[in-house]
Amino acid sequence: MSDEHGGDDKVLCVPTHDPNWSDDKQLEDVPWQLRTEIEHFFSIDKQLEHKKVEVRGWHPRDRALEVIEESREAYRRAAAS
């Protein structure tokens, strides 16, 4: 998604030790209705602040892992400064 500050990646995670979620490994494993509800939440999250957001859709698990690693690296750089 993007907002007034630019791109803002979100990562969907599931509790792997919960039997209700333990078989979900890919985005396609998460029910379509739940993904739609999550997308809707982020589309209206800042509405009361009169801020516009753009939900750009979903990316596969591999991209989520890249985003997580990029975030870790950014944290390491910031912590080292």
**What is the structure's pLDDT at 5?**
86
Active-site option among 8, 18, 29, 45: 8
Q: How many domains does the chain have?
A: 1
pTM of the predicted structure, to 2 decimals: 0.80
Active-site residue, 8 included: yes
Q: What is the mean pLDDT of residues 50-76?
A: 94
**What is the structure's pLDDT at 34?**
95
Evaluated on CA atoms 16, 73, 6, 45, the torsion sign reads: positive
Torsion of CA 56, 58, 62, 66, to 10 degrees: 30
Domain range for 6 is: 2-80
- Residue 22 near residue 16, CB atoms below 8 Å: yes
**What is the structure's pLDDT at 3?**
84
Q: In residues, how long is the chain?
A: 81
**What is the structure's pLDDT at 72?**
97
* Residue range 3-47, pLDDT digits in tens: 888 888 999 999 989 999 999 999 999 999 999 999 999 999 888
